[in-house]
Amino acid sequence: MSPTGGPTSRRRVLDAAAELLSSDGLDVPMEAIAERAGITRMTVYRVVGTRDELLVAVLLDQSARLVGALRAILDDEARPFTDRLVDTIVAIVLEVRASATLRLFVEHLTPSQIGALDRDDRFLGRVWALLQPYFDDAAATGALRNDAHATLDWTLRQILMQLVVAGTTNDTEEGLRAELEAFFVPSIAPR
């Protein structure tokens, strides 16, 4: 095993961790991740930090590809903000449901456990930084019932609810979209 760290080692650690987390769950030993990555356990700690930092790094890495898709949806100013927001929520929910690794964080950790993992807000801070400007713009144009910060907070809680509480109406893309349009949009859009 190579004792050196660096970008290549970090990529190998993140890939190995995502693969093992998906197959073995959140309790996969750091030694198994190191072995899969072909490096020493100390190198794993050197390139990603603690176990909690590794989990946050995997969460950020696995959700990174979704960011571009969300920006494309939200940047389409030809469509009303609420339509873009419904599409954004649908994209997030479908991506998390389709990803064995991302699903782990929703299905096996409580929000307070995720908060404990993400003590420095590396994940949640990036979520807010991504979405806040769109909510600020929507508020400035009168597209929101309440202020941008409160509406974004409410939206994030609704996304979490959609991920955690599977129902008979939101288990398909069409059902999820219909539920959001019937119940979520009226809660944020002005009358």
- Domain CATH number, residue 7: 1.10.10.60
Q: Domain range holding 45?
A: 1-49
pTM: 0.87
Among 166, 168, 162, 190, smallest CA distance to 86 is for 162
Cα(116)–Cα(97) distance, integer angstroms: 23
**Position 64 in a domain:** yes
**Position 33 in a domain:** yes
pLDDT digits 0-9 by tens, 134-185: 999 999 999 999 999 999 999 999 998 898 876 666 788 999 999 999 999 9
**Position 5 in a domain:** yes
Q: Are residues 99 and 131 in the same domain?
A: yes
**Position 123 in a domain:** yes
What pLDDT shows up at residue 68?
93
Structural domain count, the chain: 2
Report the b/e string of 76-89 with b at 16+ CB within 10 A.
Answer: eeeeebbebbbbbb
Q: Are residues 32 and 64 in the same domain?
A: no
pLDDT digits 0-9 by tens, 98-143: 999 999 888 888 777 777 888 888 888 999 999 999 999 999 999 9
